[in-house]
Structure 1
Amino acid sequence: MTQRNSQEANNTHISIGEFAKLVQTTKRRLQFYDKKELLLTKREANGYRYYSLNDLFVYNFIYLLSSLGIPLREIKKLLTSRSNLNNSFKLHAHAIQKHIAELLFREKKLHEYIKNIAEGSIITGSVEKIEAVTLYVKRYRGTYDEIGSFINNFISLLPTSIGQSLYVLYPNGEYDIKQTDIVIGVKASGVNIETELEKLTLPVHSIFKYAHLGPARELIYFWSELEKLAKYKGFQEDTKFSYQYEVYIKANYNGYLESYEHVTEICLPIIL
């Protein structure tokens, strides 16, 4: 566009109604953009509000970025400086990839639940005999949603970064929604720890377990499902065994995992 044409474009007055028709939107949306200072109307001395032809390019740029999922607060910054446009596109491409991965995970879980319902529950369980294992543990008291902070505290007591599974045990298989005893531990084999941690040995026992893929906050529901499934399959809970427990196989200790990448086994002691 030549300088003359550019000046003519800037001098062309387009009413809000006409502009809305040109860009195929509503007056309300334009007023919203004006309020958010994304696309400001000009005003003549008599108070008449209007747009220029150049505002068409601005609106279409806003529309393009909005269609890509970029929030308006970020679009506002990009309107004043497009130097960060490439970086913004990369960040949002990554966010879309993450969202797709989450959707695929949810789809997979739904198909699993549909398949499992025919067996009496939305989950499946497996039986396993566990050999005696000695743990370094620390005892806590609190609520289920505090387990994450308890785990972080426990890891801080270890001499090296955690490289193996963590155990979260519930004494006597009891969980009180307000306050409960929680024991967190790690296998003692190959780990030399001289701290306030104590040793605890779990004897040989059999478990009915469910391996959960997803965030730990969902486990409290699946405990109930596992217990119902065990009864459905005719297993008797081993009430003489001192603990029900969870084994955090793959967890977000360092913030590197997405919630749907977590792997946790919930283990219900049974009599075989």
Structure 2
Amino acid sequence: MKITEKNKFSVGQLSKLSGVSVRTLHFYDEKDLLTAKRDSNGYRFYSNYDAALLQQIIIYRQMDMRLEDIATIIHADNFDLLSALQKQHELLIRRRESTDDMIKRIEVSIKMTQGEENLDAILKGLPEAKIEEWKSEIKQDEHGDDVLEAYGKIPNDEVQDIKEGADVWTNIIWK
């Protein structure tokens, strides 16, 4: 939807729509950060553009930016709301991917701390009978228990490389 001045939102409507309190909207108005317009009755209202601009302000605030810095950005002569929103979208996707990666590393660390071997993560998806056969063969060796224990201590970044190699090897063997 193209942003236009056509639709009007009351302070209460924009508050509900955005999740920002009415008091915060009034504060942003006082600080000339998000200026409400007035209708013929003197009531404040906001346009679609204002709603999109508020979303921009909310994102900047969530990025811990100071209000003064946000005002400087959005009041700059060369400020382009669409471009700013697209850049923030890209930034938030990268941040989400980074957060997802951290969560995965923490989950593996939790499993390792709980004594679960990440050898199982490497072998995941392979036929169960074949896995048991390999583990049995490894244990028959005089150092087999040490080998299995060492697999439980492989750094997380190496586990994925080993898994990908095993997947390639398995696809060649089983096809």
Same fold (TM over 0.5): no
Q: TM-score, normalised by structure 1?
A: 0.29
Bigger share in strand: 1
Q: TM-score, normalised by structure 2?
A: 0.41
